[in-house]
Amino acid sequence: MDLLNTLVDKGLRRELPTREEALAVLATSDEDLLDVVAAAGKVRRQWFGRRVKLNYLVNLKSGLCPEDCSYCSQRLGSKAEILKYTWLKPEDASKAAAAGVAGGAKRVCLVASGRGPTDRDVDRVSKTIEAIKEQNEGVEVCACLGLLSAGQADRLRDAGADAYNHNLNTSEGTYGEITTTHTYADRVDTVQQAQAAGLSACSGLIAGMGESDEDLVDVVFALRELDPDSVPVNFLIPFEGTPLAKEWNLTPQRALRILAMVRFVCPDVEVRLAGGREVHLRTLQPLALHLANSIFLGDYLTSEGQAGKADLEMIADAGFEVEGAGTTTLPEHRTDVAAAGCGSHASAGCGSHESSGCGSHGGGCGPCGASEEPSVPGEPSVPEARTDLVAVRRRGAGTDLAPNA
């Protein structure tokens, strides 16, 4: 296919595809899916080989958020029966982080619900970062605390944070439909503050909220422009009790096409397969490793992932290897930019915020419901509501039970 040859050439040269080419990837048929995965896989291997970076989420503060992000189980008015707790003590957060590191994670992502941290919250998180770094030599720490105020990114960097995550989530044009309590511009500003402080920026998206192909291309092009080091790709987990509970818009094939498009547009950044992978990719998860070079190990913020052991087995069975602590994630040309002090790209990729805890919507096509009809060979698959695959997290941080790692 000419389209795929062009996209591979551009990806290997780090050249931006056109919007039409990105849209064309999303419009490919299920019949062409393996060709699309193979093409984007060439770009992935050029910049990241067969390495998979593991990241581990620690939800420092769960639920009770005053913001109204409609995809999020922790939002104002959420009826989702998630764990709710306030700030974990540094020693408890460090214990949870250690479980992830023991499972093979080289990055720990410290996430807290809320609009943004107070200066006292930054002090708290600074102590947690210090405790984690003291007990886990060489581990990268990414903070994800919401909108930052002046000076807070510098303080986090001084405390030892390597990265900061704040996702754009969706296109500028539809942002107001999913959240009213803050703006798209607020989010861009926080990512830029993190970059200016020398933190490695992590910013990504949530697909499946009812957005159009154009919206997806808009947000991914906006991310390329913003130039984070890592781009988490979340697939909406439609939590019961949130406004987007009925938005089951994704098939495994669609999720793969979205990941391929992200890889073609952002060829040399850490593309992270984030929340919703088990729910939406299901048995096709291993194919996604040909597109993303990074995943979360174990559980998400408010939902459970597959067993950490199953993550490791999947990576090995698919012919990939877990990236070791001594390996630099990003290609040399990106780390050189960081070393030259160009304002961002301090270390490697990043963690994700809304990965699981938060999930969902957009405009959309209304409830999709589970299809009872058998699929007809050759016809595009229809999204299914797989509520059976959504499990609220009941273990790890904030509980007495051992974490999944």
Q: Is 350 annotated as a binding residue?
A: no
CA 52 to chain CA centroid, nearest Å = 14
In the complex with ligand SF4, the residue whose CB is nearer, 101 or 209, is 209
Task: Give catalytic status of residue 51 as yes or no.
Answer: no
Q: How many CB atoms lie within 10 A of CB 221?
A: 17
Residues that bind ligand SF4 (CB under 6 A): 65, 67, 69, 72, 74-75, 113, 115, 146, 354, 358
Q: Which helix (H) or strand (E) holds 192?
A: helix 184-196
Q: Is residue 272 a known part of a binding site?
A: yes
> In angstroms, rounded to a whole number, what is the distance separating the alpha carbons of residues 56 and 168?
21
Selecting among 44, 75, 107, 109, the annotated active-site residue is 109
The question of whether 358 is a catalytic residue gets the answer no
Q: Has 107 been annotated as catalytic?
A: no
Active site residue 266: no
Taking alpha carbons only, the member of 353, 365, 13, 8 closest to residue 190 is 353
Q: Smallest distance from the beta carbon of 404 to ligand SF4, in angstroms?
A: 21
User: Nearest distance from residue 26's CB to ligand SF4, in Å?
Assistant: 25
| Contact of 87 with 124, CB cutoff 8 Å | yes
Helix (H) or strand (E) holding 11: helix 2-12
Exposure string over 189-213, b if 16+ CB within 10 A, otherwise e: ebbbbbbebbbbbbbbbbbbbbbbb
Told to judge if 365 belongs to the known catalytic residues of this protein, a careful annotator would answer no
Residue 14 in marked binding region: no
What letters, b where the CB count within 10 A reaches 16 and e where it falls short, cover 85-100?
A: bebbebebbbbbbbbb
142 labelled binding-site residue: yes
To ligand SF4, the closest distance from the beta carbon of 293 in angstroms equals: 25
Q: Which lies closer to ligand SF4 via its Cβ, residue 114 or residue 363?
A: 114
Is residue 144 annotated as a catalytic residue, yes or no?
A: no
Q: 105 or 112: whose CB is closer to ligand SF4?
A: 112
Measured from the CB atom, the residue of 21 and 177 that comes closer to ligand SF4 is 177
In angstroms, rounded to a whole number, what is the distance separating the alpha carbons of residues 127 and 136?
14
Residue nearer to ligand SF4 on the CB measure, 186 or 213: 186
202 labelled catalytic: yes
Instruction: Give me the amino acid identity at 282.
Output: R
Annotated catalytic residues are 65, 69, 72, 109, 142, 202, 272
Instruction: State the binding site.
Output: 65, 69, 72, 109, 142, 202, 272
Instruction: State the binding site for [4Fe-4S] cluster.
Output: 65, 69, 72
Instruction: State the binding site for [2Fe-2S] cluster.
Output: 109, 142, 202, 272
